Structure 1
């Protein structure tokens, strides 16, 4: 039976704004308080989804979390009508209001960790929503994200859904942004490479910015997913690059099938880490380990361009393509490297540049916007078909965005209760378009 990698992209929510909430994310902090364009952001995201579907790839859509999160605001003592809650929070705790308005669920690489059925001992697809415990604006996503995933992958004959890990620093989990699967094909069992920033049994850790993924979290996910321990590796990210703004592994490394592209400073004790990967890989096709030198692309240029936060995809007609943000064309070292890479003796033979500027300015590139789910033909058919992108759904969602989204949003607009009404109205209609049932719990008063 054939297996496919399906990219489920997060649809940018109507409250997309630049609040600068993500400490350790250079772009997020640099663009804090600037005006955002939610409509453009959502259309750019949809454009990327449609472009990949036009390449012949399977493409899905994941709905955003409902924002503002009134449940969290009320749990923190803001009472009264919806309008009163928003107005009081804006007056008393504007930073908290920003967190509850964040559209960060658009970056679905952090939504969950997924193990395909060909890797698990019960031959089912396993999902663990990330607890995202390091940042408040992301930690409040877990429950709704879990419901959305369950509505898309609902057939218990094929899918197993786990609860998020405990909201505790010991188990900080940032999802698939720190997980790479290497295999000779999607059809065969693969090597699960979990990259963590901190092991609580070790003093090796960054000193400036937080390490968001712990080894303990990665090990817990691997156990829950019933993965063969012989097919799992736990590798530490280089704490020095975390302190340079590499807050997730997918900002410094990317893998697909039998190709792993990474910076020479990506991992702690890198030579040993690379040897572990090479030795643990069991595929019949050769493993291509492509190490990018600091001389070719500096860590600073990698963070500025998000070259490693590109998508690396297998094309239906053979070979692989890098789906890169257009910012890569603006950094000379990066553009030169990618031009040379597609001419080198590797499976990567194409580079496609796409505009996702609105997401990039908030610290997320093409890879941040998608959650990779390897599915068999049967599992794909058992998924919610209303969430699989085709030309009709693409145009329907574009019209939906044009109808409901604002062209401009600032932090001051978050105090406007009308924005709440607009957002909830849009998401109520979206839940019908995507056949999501009652995933949203608006709790309006």
Structure 2
């Protein structure tokens, strides 16, 4: 089923497989890369190939790797709820004529960024010793909020056994309860099977009218949502830390905490401007981890906030390889930036990381998502791992099948004018219909029934 042979608890990366309608519509508020590339032609085939190549690279490092399938696009049900009627082709044409923004919303492939899919807490941390999932409500943007129900369904299909897994409803949708999933959540632990410390990062601790909050962009994540999830997941209060984002960072384009900080095991790698009160956050983390955590802060004089956002330095992944090396998986943009590249060389020399692996994710990066955006981390014991739907785990055979599948079904170029093309809808549905057989999930989408 996986490349893991030892009967140990592992952290599996579930990456979002990029869908056939990947396009640049600039739908994400505060996402500077997405906005700057809006209406540019996209390359769905290259995007999916790049995402798959990143999964292959992680698997080659000995990291268990699986995938989550794309959500069905176009989202015709959403367009009909928004008042567009007629047959499928008429719905698409009318939406394009009267509200191209809503058409782009219904064609968004943003579910590829599975860091926003849900918050997951492993059984070692929960009082009932089960893995807990809460899908994100993503209320700050319509194109993301419309993903929640499908995400919940997919997670239940992939993690079906109630002996091991608990699936909660999303936190009630409101601005007071905005939840953006694991992009604002980090777990620290000695080993994956040991009890961990959960850090929930938020931008708003009020009803959204916090005078000290960001002025340019909305704070997407609320403290209230994190508190709800901590209760639902039955976490011990002494092993939970809440940390507030720096409003200045949000206004600089740090729409999620994973754009400015990344954690793995007992390492937190972050920018010094990541948190509103960094000294308090560090003190809380040291207390909760019993001083086991190592915190590496990058000063702004070394890497500015603007450069951190532009290169997605902190949206890299930190992984432990099969040889027990600590590797940073960073976007190519970090190698091309002289200052960031030099910093990473120093961090390798100083043994923060054993090495840096660079990955080409240009299509995802141009839409505002780096390596860490594409993955949802799920810690699983051997029994839990054995109960997961087997077909979603990456194997040599599946990689080859997916490469051929992408080449058959994905276009090389997609523009805003193409989104209403009924043939694109047919191509997308045909691709997903074939994919669900390929990974053994069967008919899961409404259009298949």
Task: Tell me the TM-score range normalised by the shorter chain.
Answer: over 0.9
Could you tell me how far 1:124 is from its partner in structure 2? 0.4
Q: 1:420 aligns with which of 422, 425, 433?
A: 425
* 2:136 is the alignment partner of 1:130: yes
Could you tell me how far 1:313 is from its partner in structure 2? 0.5
Q: C-alpha distance in 2, partners of 1:345/1:73?
A: 52
Could you tell me how far 1:105 is from its partner in structure 2? 0.2
Could you tell me how far 1:279 is from its partner in structure 2? 1.4
C-alpha deviations, 1:32-55, integer Å up to 9, x for none?
Answer: 111100000000000000111111
Q: C-alpha distance in 2, partners of 1:378/1:170?
A: 38
**Which residue in the other structure is 2:281 paired with?**
273
Structure 1, unpaired ranges of 5+: none
* 2:350 is the alignment partner of 1:344: yes
User: Which stretch of the first structure deviates more once superposed, 147-156 or 100-109?
Assistant: 147-156
Structure 2, unpaired ranges of 5+: 1-6
SS across alignment from 2:198: strand
The answer to whether the 8 A contact 1:67-1:103 is kept is: yes
**Which residue in the other structure is 1:370 paired with?**
375
Structure 2 matches for 1:383-394, cutoff 5 A? 383-394=388-399
**Which residue in the other structure is 2:93 paired with?**
87
Could you tell me how far 1:438 is from its partner in structure 2? 3.1
Structure 2 matches for 1:239-250, cutoff 5 A? 239-250=247-258
Q: C-alpha distance in 2, partners of 1:101/1:338?
A: 37
**Which residue in the other structure is 2:126 paired with?**
120
Q: C-alpha distance in 1, partners of 2:438/2:82?
A: 33
SS across alignment from 1:386: helix
User: Which stretch of the first structure deviates more once superposed, 105-114 or 48-57?
Assistant: 48-57
The answer to whether the 8 A contact 1:301-1:333 is kept is: no
The answer to whether the 8 A contact 2:187-2:265 is kept is: yes
**Which residue in the other structure is 2:446 paired with?**
441
What RMSD in Å do the two structures reach over aligned CA positions? 1.2
**Which residue in the other structure is 1:161 paired with?**
167
Could you tell me how far 1:78 is from its partner in structure 2? 1.2
Could you tell me how far 1:282 is from its partner in structure 2? 3.4
Could you tell me how far 1:2 is from its partner in structure 2? 2.0
The answer to whether the 8 A contact 2:139-2:173 is kept is: yes
User: Which stretch of the first structure deviates more once superposed, 70-79 or 363-372?
Assistant: 70-79
Structure 2 matches for 1:315-354, cutoff 5 A? 315-346=321-352, 348-354=353-359
Could you tell me how far 1:443 is from its partner in structure 2? 8.0
Structure 2 matches for 1:66-81, cutoff 5 A? 66-81=72-87
Q: C-alpha distance in 1, partners of 2:376/2:229?
A: 16
The answer to whether the 8 A contact 2:285-2:293 is kept is: no
Q: C-alpha distance in 2, partners of 1:213/1:361?
A: 23
SS across alignment from 1:6: strand
Q: C-alpha distance in 2, partners of 1:264/1:77?
A: 47
- TM-score w.r.t. the length of structure 2 is 0.96
SS across alignment from 1:442: helix
The answer to whether the 8 A contact 1:9-1:369 is kept is: yes
Could you tell me how far 1:375 is from its partner in structure 2? 0.6
Could you tell me how far 1:330 is from its partner in structure 2? 1.3
Could you tell me how far 1:407 is from its partner in structure 2? 0.3
Q: C-alpha distance in 1, partners of 2:143/2:172?
A: 17
C-alpha deviations, 1:75-117, integer Å up to 9, x for none?
Answer: 1211111111111111111110000000000000000000000
C-alpha deviations, 1:376-425, integer Å up to 9, x for none?
Answer: 11111110110000111111111110110000000110121111111011
SS across alignment from 1:368: helix
The answer to whether the 8 A contact 1:71-1:443 is kept is: no
Q: C-alpha distance in 2, partners of 1:316/1:61?
A: 20
User: Which stretch of the first structure deviates more once superposed, 12-21 or 287-296?
Assistant: 287-296
The answer to whether the 8 A contact 1:144-1:439 is kept is: no
Q: C-alpha distance in 1, partners of 2:396/2:309?
A: 33
The answer to whether the 8 A contact 2:433-2:448 is kept is: no
The answer to whether the 8 A contact 2:433-2:443 is kept is: no
The answer to whether the 8 A contact 2:135-2:170 is kept is: yes
SS across alignment from 1:42: helix
Q: C-alpha distance in 2, partners of 1:443/1:171?
A: 33
